[in-house]
Amino acid sequence: MHFITGLKIVLVLQISFFAFIAFSAETGIYEIPVSDYVTGRFNPEKHPLFVNLSNTDIPVARKNLYLRKEAALALSKMLQDFRKEYPKIKIYVVSATRNFYSQKNIWEEKWNGKRTIAGIENIKAMKGDMGKAKAILQFSSMPGTSRHHWGTDIDINSLTNEYYEKGDGLIIYSWLSKNAQRYGYCQPYTSGRTGGYSEEKWHWSYIPLAKNFLNDWNKIYKETEGSFLEAIPFDGSVYIKELAPLYVNNINPECQ
């Protein structure tokens, strides 16, 4: 009896051990399954591999912005070097990791007409869920499909492309376009792509980690035929399986 109980414990420990290894190889985070990680179903505030940017030298627009530690370290170095050249111009982070639930809030507020959408006067008057989804998808991801879930992506200063076309914005954008890759950062949503999200000059991604999470996302999409995205439904999620891979993968080739 005792032996059998002992054997069960050994077996459970062995199974847990293999689960541990399977998860750790992908994300570096042991207790979160990869499919939960890449769809943002975890709390970055509680995870030791994430850092609160308020505890670093990275300037922030608000409290409680989190990034993976490697991404924050590279960003800190990049901004230090920018400041050496342009001490008077401020670059600061306005958004970093957003989990599934915060992305769900953004998406549903837009879907239900409670938050404005560029170029759309009244989304509730629009006919057809596909058209509504595509209108929101110009600049916002569906929950479960955002690079902001991964702890690798940031938005800076201003969420309008016009800001980066003159003055400080232009200096910042030109400097980042030339230098960001030296620190592992890249602009995923450039102009001139043939689909996906519109150009976002404010969104930068730490590629050494993000490229792995993009591969994981695609691998799980293929294995589950997209059904891993349906674990938690949200308003307007009806076309998620069809639209998500087109938007997730339509990025600047230099960021892959």
Residues that bind Zn ion (CB under 5 A): 155, 203
Nearer to Zn ion, 36 or 155 (CB): 155
Tokens of 22: 């399977």
Nearer to Zn ion, 48 or 119 (CB): 119
Nearer to Zn ion, 196 or 219 (CB): 196
**What whole-number distance in Å separates Cα of residue 88 and Cα of residue 226?**
47
Nearer to Zn ion, 26 or 155 (CB): 155
Nearer to Zn ion, 126 or 139 (CB): 139
Nearest distance from residue 223's CB to Zn ion, in Å? Answer: 27
Nearer to Zn ion, 94 or 120 (CB): 94
Nearest distance from residue 95's CB to Zn ion, in Å? Answer: 6
CA distances from 115 to 51, 111, 121, 148, 223 (A): 29, 8, 11, 19, 35
Q: Which residue is nearest to Zn ion (CB)?
A: 203
Nearest distance from residue 20's CB to Zn ion, in Å? Answer: 32
Contact 155, 203 (CB under 8 A): yes
Contact 106, 144 (CB under 8 A): no
Q: Regarding beta strands 66-68 and 203-206, do their DSSP bridges make them parallel or antiparallel, or are they unpaired?
A: unpaired
Q: Quick one: angle between helices 129-136 and 100-111, nearest 10?
A: 120
**What whole-number distance in Å separates Cα of residue 220 and Cα of residue 132?**
27
**What whole-number distance in Å separates Cα of residue 161 and Cα of residue 170?**
10
Question: Strand, coil or helix: what is 155?
Answer: strand
